[in-house]
Structure 1
């Protein structure tokens, strides 16, 4: 009997040797959740990047994004849209009607929700990028959009970091970020990993938004400090050095969206007339400071470098200059819009401001059109 048992044990080992070890299917942990079960706004500010990563990035760790089932990509997009709807349908209205500490907490919660929404957006785009690369399709438009969305994400991560420790309030009940993370870990969607190389590549791809955000937000937060009330007054806008917000490096064609990410999106949902220039951030002054920095880059650097360059280098610098003009003029129009809102609220005459806005907008439209015509061309900055 012992010999028979030994025979079967050896037989099983022999089968394994012939046919190889059992194939293990790597299962990733993402699953579709209701907004209440993955929202991260309730609690305190300061850790939105990690909390959002627990929802949209960590579940895909080690997974080749190109191999994901299309339904998984749709589920990521569904959850991103739910976070966006929470902002537009709930946060904005509640913040407008609130005051004091409650308004500050809701504003901090809105910023955390923006980090959540944009992390989902970047991850959805990363999935599209991975699939497009695997199919051999052109990826330039996806990469441009990722860069624009990542810039918005970095801005909001920096604001949340500055708000660290402040009370944060969400707009729905349900599970906290901690339980949503564990809920995600219980998910059952699966994807196969072809090799250790593809897994390593996927891990880097899935983690890249988090890594990029970390480096960007740390540099932003180290150069800017303010209270949560300041963040509430200025939306998610913060003063940055030109090198941190310039948009000229890369490719042409998406300057309008990239400039909006710097000067317009941070004020989304904020009544410009209520911006308080008595707080430390002085949002109007800071918008103007950054606009002047973009203007200085044009007059002090772009013009001379273009004159000294030739061929492809000159063309790339010229494309970069056009993108910088879009950036500069977007800042100019936004600064004027703030002045206009304040003048209207004060009952002042606004004719001269409106006339100037029309003139600057015309310049802006011209440069946006030029950048659009340059779409896909190499663009070079001077920072």
Structure 2
């Protein structure tokens, strides 16, 4: 017997659960179907939330032939068969799963068929199509994002435990029914009505399904929300997203992102907090999950409540922009390496002033290339006592260097 999720697949739009923002009354996909003016589209979102169901419902509602292929496993031969069918019948709806894996050969074959309307393509993907799908295909398709089911779409237990994944929810429901039915058969009571309790349903689902995909949108959205919550000093939100990342078991991503946050978002405003974060990361890596959650929570709370500054990342990005966009002059001769025979003849290292030979270990001399003499990349904010101290020192030294340049030119 085929799985319940397969047997429950809708044959028209009215049978689709959820996605009201696309198929509800007056919404875009329903309007397209009712007007019989279908265009190719890409449906993207987490697994199990209705991409295939909507495609089959569109085909059922319009009475077009419906075929399903996988861009990763099906070849040009299968595409040609669908194309022939579209030629014979006028139009065929093709659900192309994992469309982000469509190679150039298949893409080149499909493009003219989409232009002619011989094939109405419904691409399905868990990847962000604006990143993972070629512009040639994207430009010929409407792009629709599907959402996980909400508690308004089905019973609270099934949705909360299934986390909006309808396929997982239906499969769990089937497991609950079949396991209960087996018990009744053992008692020769299989003709009786089967009643599934909330406890039996919860036992069948066991663990809440999480939409974790190390290379998909869900992963990047999660680490993005994690960083933005710490940057925004929302401790509770930061802990929430940390918990979701911990539940995914992806300790590597947590540690990497936390190290980035420590220096990108807190940085010079509180160097001690950034240092503490690195120590916490090392401890987390040493003990592993689940104990790693303890040092990670310490770090997240401290970073969320620390003063914030992005002056360091802004400074290096400004310097990189000059390197990438401007013609950069040679390194001043006095700074060039002089630790080899013949360097002096080239003028390398000549007239270099050794700062430690001077008062306060500082002496004015040119360090930047000629065309960047007056460049200023570091713009400290001074939001904390630490950064305010850096700011004062930077500005004082910058002024002294500027005065020296003015006096010597």
TM range (shorter): under 0.3
TM-score for both structures, normalised by structure 2: 0.22
Which structure dedicates a bigger proportion of its chain to strand?
2
TM-score for both structures, normalised by structure 1: 0.23
Which structure dedicates a bigger proportion of its chain to helix?
1
Structure 1 or 2, whichever has the larger Rg, is 2
